[in-house]
Structure 1
């Protein structure tokens, strides 16, 4: 049976997308995916997508475009929690880039142990539950997740069963992506001294750039309809901001 998905479409601007995120206003809009440098806060890339495209989708391709077009030697990047995905963490590792990504809070099922309560043993390739039982590897899904399952016979007599699983067969299943180790490396980067300093500058750089665009350059609203027109508005706004940044820097040099 083929599953169908309902997609909302604007009758006045079919190119835009409906954005629905937690703690965000639901609306039809476009998204500006922007990159700035750390030293002068120059906008090095501005890419527009419909509002229903996740931030992480175009990131690696836009990063590669900047490296190829401008010859940038990217050493480190600081991103918000929306970019904390396995493909991006793996992509940063493959490009030898020090990645710092904000922590994303997951909401576990109420009354059950969160995943971090299960300890992963890399040498044995197993998970250990809070009661000490080993969850062995069973299979890998098509989406790249390795499944680790407990022994239902031992789980049946476990005093923590009600806090561990609610499955009918009384078996706990923990999943781990094949690229999970790269995400763990990014978490270590975030907690390192250099990672904390790098992420601190993010709100002073790219977040400030977005704020200036909306408050000082009228980018809070699209002036024309269509993806092409929205892209033109974003690029012209970015050009104006860059000219101001460059002029300010040259003025400081005398």
Structure 2
């Protein structure tokens, strides 16, 4: 949506099994091409805090600000991934006891796997809280674009990042809340993507008519005495 007048410029429907983050970069590109937007920065909620989006924004020279996403909590009594420190110079993770988890392989989803040495882990005093693996081996994964994700996460803590994230809540989130509360966005009224897309387009048109009417009828601000 437009940040000045809150005019909705795009609405897109996906199957429930497709997460919003999957189509985000394609929709961003379409907006830039269709309207000639020169996007310098974007504010996104935590659902879009992925390595793929972070890398895509950097490739487009766009600064991204994403909300904080809580990592998946481990089983009670087990150590978190954050207890392990990544060392770029060795491309490995260092455990609390000082062992280096070396690079092992990269899976088809783009995650690099770092594995500990079971011979060392078997005598470690923290083994019970580190892994329940029968082979006494702890594995840590890191996406190949994790560096981009970390840089994007750091933007959230900067003064300009906080301002952009606040602006996002004041614009697109407010418009979406209006769509849910007043225009039937809480539920899909029809079956099939095409019909639901029509519902969303009609709701967006109704919202835009109200926004445009308010914009063209708003009188000039009184001069300061």
Q: TM-score when scaled to structure 2?
A: 0.90
Q: Where in structure 2 are the equivalents of 1:62-77 lying within 5 Å?
A: 62-77=27-42
The answer for unaligned runs of 5 or more in structure 2 is: 221-225
Once residues 208 and 179 of structure 1 are traced to their aligned partners in structure 2, the CA distance between those partners, rounded to angstroms, is 32
Which of these residues, 115, 119, 122, is aligned with residue 85 of structure 2?
Answer: 119
Report the CA distance between 1:170 and its aligned residue: 1.1
Aligned length, in residue pairs = 219
Cα deviation code 1:130-169 (max 9, x no counterpart): 1111111122222211111112111111111111111111
Unaligned runs of 5+ in 1: 1-35
- Residue of structure 2 in register with 1:96 after alignment: 61
Larger relative strand fraction? 1
Local SS of the residue matching 1:49: coil
The residue that corresponds to 1:202 in the other structure is 168
Query: Could you tell me how far 1:59 is from its partner in structure 2?
Result: 0.9
| 1:98-153 deviation per Cα after TM superposition (whole angstroms, max 9, x unaligned) | 11111111222222111111101112211110111111112222221111111211
Is the helix fraction higher in 1 or 2?
A: 2
- What corresponds to 1:250 in structure 2? 216
- 2:4 paired residue number: 39
The alignment partner of 2:43 has SS state of strand
User: Which stretch of structure 1 is more off in the superposition, 94-103 or 48-57?
Assistant: 48-57
Counterparts of 1:211 and 1:174, CA distance in 2 = 39
Change (3 A) 1:152 1:226: closer
- How far residue 253 of structure 1 moved from its aligned partner, in angstroms, is 5.3
Q: Which runs of 4+ in 1 moved over 6 A?
A: none
- Higher alpha-carbon deviation: 64-73 or 102-111: 102-111
Deviation at residue 174 of structure 1 after TM alignment: 0.9
1:159 to 2:94 alignment = no
| 1:225 Cα offset (Å) | 3.6
Distance 2:188 2:120 in 1: 60
RMSD: 1.6
Residues 109 and 227 of structure 1: CA distance in aligned 2, closer, same or farther (over 3 Å):
same
Return the structure number with greater relative CO, CA threshold 8 A, min gap 6: 2
**C-alpha distance 221-126 of structure 1, shift in aligned 2 (>3 A):** closer
Matched, 1:57 2:22: yes
Query: Could you report, residue by residue, the CA deviation over 1:15-64 in whole angstroms, capped at 9, with x for unpaired residues?
Result: xxxxxxxxxxxxxxxxxxxxx23332221110112222211121111111
